[in-house]
């Protein structure tokens, strides 16, 4: 059996930036064990396997502006191409303000002694959002080095499955980022995710309200870095737009 495989860097237009993922288009379903073995061989945080639910579907360049619907483990994902970018349709997840002392151990493990302006928890995603004080500059966020074991030890009750650290951006400076963030999810086996679409369903809801804006530009300040364009729609959903670059194309021989 031959399976084509691609490595794609998402939320960037530069190789070796953004969120790297393996993508395997399939002509038929595989056994669950084989999916796991291929993902382990790719050794990336995500490996996507794509099959056509309807063999008559046409994914040719003539239909490039059509909306494609992917049935994922998290539900349906609607995707369309817009110029050189990909637009994904996500739910908007509103975080709820919390008393910081209720999460003081996990906050300490995530940001140390840096001042915190607000703490929110998203009950849907179980992501704890920690907003650094506006007196902090971007170097504070980029210099954070939370230990995965310390984070796990600080919160084992199941209330938290990920920590988002965010701060106000610099929209007056080019390219005009409205806010910055980093995402830590050792509870899911990911010490730090390079760029995280799901965390921005929480961040977009929060910052849209704080900034009074429905269209925002965000930057995730991981070592790889990634840029996301966000639009909070009138129907209460969120469009996340980003670019992607294919850096590897090959074949798996099984």
Residue numbers annotated as active site: 46
Distances (CA, A) of 92 to 72, 165, 232: 17, 18, 8
CA angle 49–54–58, rounded 5-degree value: 90
Q: Is the CA virtual torsion 95, 178, 147, 188 positive or negative?
A: positive
Given a contact cutoff of 8 angstroms between Cβ atoms, the answer to whether 227 and 217 are in contact is yes
Count the Cβ atoms, other than its own, within 10 Å of residue 203: 31
Backbone dihedral region of 244: left (phi > 0), alpha (psi from -120 to 50 degrees) or beta?
beta
Q: How far apart are CA 40 and CA 212, in angstroms?
A: 43
Given a contact cutoff of 8 angstroms between Cβ atoms, the answer to whether 222 and 182 are in contact is yes
Nearest to 52 by CA among 75, 71, 38: 71
Given a contact cutoff of 8 angstroms between Cβ atoms, the answer to whether 98 and 133 are in contact is no
Which positions ≥6 away from 222 have C-beta within 8 Å?
182, 183, 192, 193, 194, 195
Strand partners, 24: 49
């Amino acid at each position: 059996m031959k399976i084509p495989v691609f490595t794609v860097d998402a939320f960037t237009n530069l190789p070796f930036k953004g969120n790297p993922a393996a993508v395997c288009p399939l002509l038929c379903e595989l056994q669950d064990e084989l999916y796991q073995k291929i993902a382990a061989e790719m050794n990336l945080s995500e490996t996507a396997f794509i099959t056509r639910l309807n063999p008559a579907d046409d994914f040719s360049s003539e239909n490039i502006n059509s909306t494609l619907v992917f049935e994922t483990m998290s539900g349906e994902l609607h995707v369309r191409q817009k110029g050189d970018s990909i637009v994904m349709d996500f739910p908007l997840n509103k975080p709820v303000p919390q008393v910081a002392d209720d999460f003081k151990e996990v906050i300490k493990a995530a940001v140390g002694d840096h001042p915190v302006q607000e703490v929110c928890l998203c009950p849907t995603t179980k992501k704890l959002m920690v907003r650094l004080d506006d007196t902090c500059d971007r170097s504070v966020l980029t210099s954070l080095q939370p230990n995965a074991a310390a984070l796990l030890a600080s919160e084992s009750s199941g209330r938290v499955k990920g920590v988002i650290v965010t701060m106000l951006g610099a929209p007056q400076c080019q390219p005009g980022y409205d806010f910055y963030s980093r995402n830590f999810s050792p509870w899911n086996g990911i010490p730090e995710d390079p760029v995280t679409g799901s965390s921005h369903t929480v961040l977009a809801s929060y910052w849209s309200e704080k900034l009074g804006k429905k269209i925002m530009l965000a930057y995730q300040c991981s070592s790889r870095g990634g840029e996301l364009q966000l639009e909070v729609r009138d129907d209460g959903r969120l469009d996340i737009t980003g670019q992607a670059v294919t850096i590897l194309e090959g074949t798996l021989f099984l």
